[in-house]
Amino acid sequence: MTHSIFKSIKLLNPATNFYQKVNVVIQNETIINISKDLNLEKFNKDNQTIIYDCEGLTMSPGIFDMRVNIGKTENLKFTQITAAESGITSMAILPNQTPNLNNPSIIDHIKRQSEDINLPKVMVYGAATKDLNGLEISEIGLMSEMGAIGFTNGNKSIKNSLVMRRLMSYATMINRPIIQHAEDEDLSGLNQASTTSIRGEMNEGEISTRLGLIGIPACAEVIIIERDIRLAKLTGAHYHVAHVSTRDAVNAIREAKKSRLSITCDTAPPYFSLNESKLLTYNTAFKLSPPLRSEDDRLAIIEGIQDGTIDAIASDHRARSKDTKAQPFSAASVGASGIETLFSLTLDLVHKKIIDINKAISFLTINPAKILGIDSPSLEEEKVADFIVFDENEPHTIKQENLKTSPTPFDGKKIRGKILATYINGQVAFMNHIFKNKIIK
């Protein structure tokens, strides 16, 4: 019988507000013992026992990344492997990939293709509208039966008010959330009749004017949110706003929550770590959607994280090829890698004393699960052992050359906090050399 013992590890379990130094024993795929005092003698006789000296290390539930773009179906396995190395044990993928996740059979195919018990669990959002065109509602009932956990047009806004009202009404009947990329496409220059029309490229303001780039006004975000909040009130739907990036959006969501509406939202590390000044170099790694905003907007995102207006932090992972980024700014693709830096950049909020570590891990684990109606991960006796081991103080520098995906807008950033091991179903999905050296038996 195989046992793994994690000796003197700080166990952080947000689901039960538990944060103490303990010994944790894993037998096969299950946590069988959590205790301060552990008699190691009875395990020393067992040649199948592995003991790790975890002094100074922390164990927590694995990350649930609720917003991942994989681009193409063939990228799925690679993304799962990279996610495991990044501390992610579950992830939800967006429908705007190739092929679009807009019917029950494709969703069933993705779920079957991703069923590897030693890799992160893959959950799927269904396309809210057919072909993501925003005009006709997809078969959301049938997709829900196949396991779709929510409905969204991914990186496109659902802009038609009647379509959104009907979506919310149907989603309420099947108890699924509607997830919105909130952006008025007309204001953002993304709804031009001609494909050669100049499209919005960065946040509208003084810097966009100085750089000669087409601006996307911050109000393009909140206009959609305010409309949708009214529709959510009308229909009783659970409405979730993805990658919130502006002060006005945070304020609107904060007020909606006071009315006890079922409104939730997430943000991503670029929006609490960076601002539009990064684009002064014309570096296309900073060309994102939503765009990087003003410093005031960045500070508002931090305030929303602190006071609970923002519920979760997601990677918003959207890896792009070097060819599509190595172009003039206007022609370069939109998006950046996120899964490999999600953990350490969220932990940066702890090191800067913006939030405590329990809240940081909650943003990455139990909060996304609650939003999407999934069982919350919890580290308790008799529970399946899905967890990560990390050193919250391990210094390192994010380097593009060391990442499997690109581009990163955080190349060269000095950071603290490193994933040392990821366990899925009690088995090692990833372990780096630092943790391997912790074996004492």
Given the structure tokens 């999905």, which residue do they identify?
429
Q: How far apart are CA 60 and CA 19, in angstroms?
A: 9
The full 3-state SS of the chain, as one line of letters, equals CCEEEEEEEEEEEHHHCEEEEEEEEEECCEEEEEECCCCCHHHHCCCCEEEEECCCCEEEECEEEEEEECCEHHHHHHHHHHHHHCCEEEEEECCCCECCCCCHHHHHHHHHHCCCCCCCEEEECEECEHHHCCCCECCHHHHHHCCCCCEECCCCCCCCHHHHHHHHHHHHHCCCCEEECCCCCCCCCCCCCCCCCCCCCEECCHHHHHHCCCEECCHHHHHHHHHHHHHHHHHCCCEEECCCCCHHHHHHHHHHHHCCCCEEEEECHHHHHCCHHHHHHCCHHHCCCCCCCCHHHHHHHHHHHHHCCCCEECCCEECCCHHHHCCCCCCCCCCCCCCCCHHHHHHHHHHCCCCCHHHHHHHHCHHHHHHCCCCCCCCCCCCECCEEEEEEEEEEECCHHHCCCCCCCCCCCEEEEEEEEEEECCEEEEECHHHHCCECC
Contact 29, 309 (CB under 8 A): no
Q: How far apart are CA 273 and CA 295, in angstroms?
A: 10
CA torsion 93-428-24-348 (nearest 10°) is -50
User: What are the φ and ψ backbone dihedral angles of 384, each rounded to 5 degrees?
Assistant: -65, 140
316 is catalytic: yes
Q: Which of 65, 266, 311, 316 is catalytic?
A: 316
Give the residue numbers marked as catalytic.
Answer: 316
